[in-house]
Chain A
């Protein structure tokens, strides 16, 4: 059973960079069996796909966020990370990490999510 846990600051100032980490257990980020993805949900609103990364470092991200998003993987710690630069209040959301299997297009396992508030 794959388990994911998001961690990072709950409060970020406007114009700064949001940084989150997803710790993975029950699977290896370097196994090649999954891609590792980020999804967010503003309070009271719908879900938005942010992007994903393969252990090789290959990434893909939402065109609307692409210029501000960096997703990386740390195989030594079995973690992957999200950085979102130049944040504004519109980036306030619950951020989820999840697994993605491209063969079949399935987002199988999700973390519990972590709320990040952008405010001065």
Chain B
């Protein structure tokens, strides 16, 4: 059973920078896992932010960026805004199947 692990919760101050990570139980995450990142606010559908490690959608604010960091996929928010408080999910590809991480609850305080 493949497990994708994210930090359960993180707190950041407005204007600050925070990095969320996404690890695979199978080993280092590479570009071949096509990491995706989604933002979800209560009562809403997930909103895609990043695909294929670092590609942004046309609607993704410039303060969001994706990368690979220390064998994990990473989502960095620079200049955090209060409206960035949300749950964030990563998604990894395992040769035909996709597995979501458990999510990171980001608090802006």
Q: Shortest CB–CB separation between residue B53 and chain A, in angstroms?
A: 9
The majority secondary structure among interface residues of chain B is: strand
**B46-A96 in contact (CB<8A):** yes
> Which of chain A's residues 60-74 have a Cβ closer than 8 Å to chain B?
60, 62-63
Q: For chain A, which range describes its interface: under 10, 10 to 19, 20 to 34, or 35 or more residues? A: 10 to 19
**A110-B46 in contact (CB<8A):** yes
> Which residues of A are found within 8 Å of B79, using beta-carbon distances?
none
Q: If A110-B46, A111-B45 touch, does A49 touch B55 (CB 8 Å cutoff)?
A: no
How many angstroms between the C-alpha atoms of A107 and B49 in the bound complex?
Answer: 10
How many angstroms between the C-alpha atoms of A47 and B90 in the bound complex?
Answer: 10
How many angstroms between the C-alpha atoms of A105 and B91 in the bound complex?
Answer: 10
B93 at the interface (CB under 8 A from A): yes
> Which of chain A's residues 85-120 have a Cβ closer than 8 Å to chain B?
96, 104-108, 110-113
How many angstroms between the C-alpha atoms of A105 and B36 in the bound complex?
Answer: 8
Q: Shortest CB–CB separation between residue B101 and chain A, in angstroms?
A: 7
**A104-B51 in contact (CB<8A):** yes
Nearest residue (CB) in A for B87 is A46
How many angstroms between the C-alpha atoms of A96 and B40 in the bound complex?
Answer: 13
B103 at the interface (CB under 8 A from A): yes
B97 at the interface (CB under 8 A from A): yes
Query: Which chain B residues have a beta carbon within 8 Å of chain A's beta carbons?
Result: 34, 36, 38, 45-48, 51-52, 55, 57, 89, 91, 93, 96-103
Q: 8 A-B contacts, Cβ less than 8 Å apart?
A: A39-B46, A47-B38, A47-B103, A49-B97, A104-B55, A106-B48, A110-B46, A111-B45
Query: Which chain A residues have a beta carbon within 8 Å of chain B's beta carbons?
Result: 39, 46-49, 60, 62-63, 96, 104-108, 110-113
